[in-house]
Amino acid sequence: VRGGSYNRRWNAQVLRGLQELGQIDRRQLSIDQAAGLELPIGDMEEPHNWERVGLVAIDLHEEDFFASVWEPWRLRLMGGSQAALEGVKSLLRPHADVCHILAEAYAPGPAIQERFGLVAEYIQPMRDCGRCPGCRHRNVEPPTDPPPRVPCRWIVDHAAAKGLEALIAAAPTAERLAIVITADPVAEAPAMAVELIRAGVRFFAGVQPKPPVGVAPWWFLDESDVSPGDVPPVPGLVVPAPGEPVSQAWLVASARPPDVDGRPVPIVLLVGNGTLVGARRVPVERLGALQLETAMSTLRLVAG
Ligand SMILES: [Zn+2]
């Protein structure tokens, strides 16, 4: 029979039905296998398809197989198709509860439940969407379901080098926060960034590092107005815009993500002379901040 012919589809449906009812097993034969059995294999235009069909049950030969097994099965299948068609037709009615009809259509059947267990409970779309004609008619509000805003709380296996730890220890402004002072932070930042990237700093805000080739394979960049909650969990250098006070949030260790040891990731802030720091607007010179030259020599001294 030709592909697509009515005869062929009918045969395919009968075979498929018998297979589903566990009466036969089927295996597709390759062209080589068919040729090996001396079956005609057709030509390039119309290759023949051969299947090996085996009887696995003897019910097929019982006289009432078609009346007692086949027909109820066929009616059940047709019932499902009929119900699906009714569902689609009901979408056309005014004030149709589209979300309920969709949820019904995607309800997991027994076969899906058996195979996927608990997970199958989550394949149905939500009812009462608040947006379809039925929900609007019933004054159902869309559920408030804000997108997740997950803080940076992933932990990376990347630690600060000794030089950076020494710098942090020498400038005790807040826990694992060093503030470094210079007259012109924007001009000085690139050179400091190069020194810091050698010391394991991998996050730069308000400055673009140009590290020598081979020093660091990757780093993160951000703008000068970054806040501690946006910092990735790696050591960082932040250069706030000139004249901007340093936010109190930088002094709060828990606002920063933790490093591999559970401590806040170390941050170096490079600011201009007289910058005001924290909620009490303390001039930076009155805190345990370091001058840039001292910070750079501390980094170089302990490097390696
Ligand atoms: Zn709805």
pLDDT of the residue at 273:
95
Q: Cα(142) to centroid of ligand 1, in Å?
A: 8
At 245 the three-state DSSP class reads coil
Residue 146 has pLDDT above 70, yes or no: no
pLDDT of the residue at 167:
94
Q: Are 236 and 203 in contact (CB under 8 A)?
A: yes
DSSP code, position 31: H
Q: Are 53 and 5 in contact (CB under 8 A)?
A: no
Average of pLDDT values for 214-218? 84
How far apart (Å, rounded) are the C-alpha atoms in residues 72 and 59?
15
How far apart (Å, rounded) are the C-alpha atoms in residues 173 and 289?
6
Task: Band the pLDDT of 2: cuts 50, 70, 90.
Answer: low
CB atoms within 10 A of CB 250: 22
Q: Cα(107) to centroid of ligand 1, in Å?
A: 16
pLDDT of the residue at 104:
86
Question: Tens of pLDDT along 262-282?
Answer: 889 999 999 999 999 999 999
Q: Cα(241) to centroid of ligand 1, in Å?
A: 49
193: Cβ–Cβ under 8 A, 6 or more apart, which residues? 201, 204, 207, 208, 209, 210, 211, 237
Residue 288 has pLDDT above 70, yes or no: yes
How far apart (Å, rounded) are the C-alpha atoms in residues 216 and 239?
20
Question: Tens of pLDDT along 111-123?
Answer: 888 888 777 877 8
pLDDT of the residue at 46:
79
- Compute the radius of gyration of the chain from its Cα atoms: 36
pLDDT of the residue at 151:
55
Q: What is the crossing angle of helices 71-90 and 98-105, to 10°? A: 160
pLDDT of the residue at 225:
93
pLDDT of the residue at 275:
95
β-pair type (24-29, 50-55): antiparallel
At 294 the three-state DSSP class reads helix
DSSP 265-288: PPEEEEEETT-EETTTTEEGGGTT
Question: Tens of pLDDT along 16-59?
Answer: 888 888 888 888 888 888 888 888 888 878 778 888 888 887 77
Q: Cα(82) to centroid of ligand 1, in Å?
A: 23
Q: Cα(118) to centroid of ligand 1, in Å?
A: 25
pLDDT of the residue at 152:
52
Give the residue carrying structure tokens 């394991």: 200
Instruction: Give CB contacts under 8 A, 24+ apart, made by 223-230.
Output: 227/255, 228/252, 228/255, 228/256, 228/267, 229/151, 229/152, 229/255, 229/256, 230/152
Question: Tens of pLDDT along 156-188?
Answer: 888 788 899 999 999 988 999 999 999 999 999
Task: Band the pLDDT of 229: cuts 50, 70, 90.
Answer: confident
Average of pLDDT values for 186-210? 94
Average of pLDDT values for 207-217? 85
Q: Cα(270) to centroid of ligand 1, in Å?
A: 54
Question: Tens of pLDDT along 73-95?
Answer: 888 888 878 888 888 888 888 89
Residue 254 has pLDDT above 90, yes or no: no
Q: Cα(108) to centroid of ligand 1, in Å?
A: 19
What is the reported pTM? 0.53
Tokens of 10: 């009918």
Amino acid, single-letter form, for residue 164: L
Maximum mean pLDDT: which of 62-76, 139-153, 175-189, 216-230: 175-189
CB atoms within 10 A of CB 33: 14
